[in-house]
Homo-oligomer: A and B are copies of this chain.
Amino acid sequence: MMDPFNDEYFMKQALVEARSAAEEGEVPVGAVIVCNNQIIARAHNQTERLNDPTAHAEMLAITAAVGVLGAKYLTGCSLYVTVEPCVMCAGAIGWSQLSKIVYGATDEKRGFQQYAPKALHPKATVKKGVLENECAEEMRKFFQRKR
């Protein structure tokens, strides 16, 4: 039997968040955090609304997830995010000890893989390119409208 709760399923949920961000005029990045096949936190970029350059989807999702679990660490949990995390978010992912990071589109300019490749917990696994085109398309459409 096919597992309905696979990486694509959860990335689609992150994409729903990214589209909410776009509708609010925010850079369209969305994230969900999954624990035992359940989404325990979901968030999208809110740097404009909160007037805070640190209010990235991943940061908000991590803070929400530790609140839900009542634990300071997210060991065993997975993060799905539509765009490759930046250095700040990768650092936060490292501190939170998230075990699995799945992202869609690569961020050549700000992505952690280039600028802070050792930021994550050494045991964390990374999978990239899940629904890559859809994730990248949200970003492309957003910045095209901005021009």
Contact = CB atoms under 8 A, between A and B. Distances in A.
Copy number in this complex? Answer: 2
A123 to B, nearest CB: 16
Interface in A67-109: 67, 70-73, 86-92, 94-97
A43 to B, nearest CB: 13
Contacts of A97: 53
A62 interface: yes
B91 A66 contact: no
Contacts of A53: 62, 66, 72-73, 92, 95-97
A51 interface: yes
Interface residues of A, number: 30
Contacts of A47: 72
Given A52-B62, A53-B62, A53-B97, 20 more contacts: A47-B72, A48-B72, A51-B70, A51-B72, A52-B67, A52-B72, A53-B73, A53-B95, A53-B96, A54-B62, A54-B96, A87-B90, A87-B116, A88-B90, A88-B91, A88-B92, A88-B95, A91-B116, A115-B116, A116-B119
12 contacts: A47-B72, A48-B72, A53-B62, A53-B66, A53-B92, A53-B96, A87-B87, A87-B88, A87-B90, A87-B116, A88-B91, A91-B91
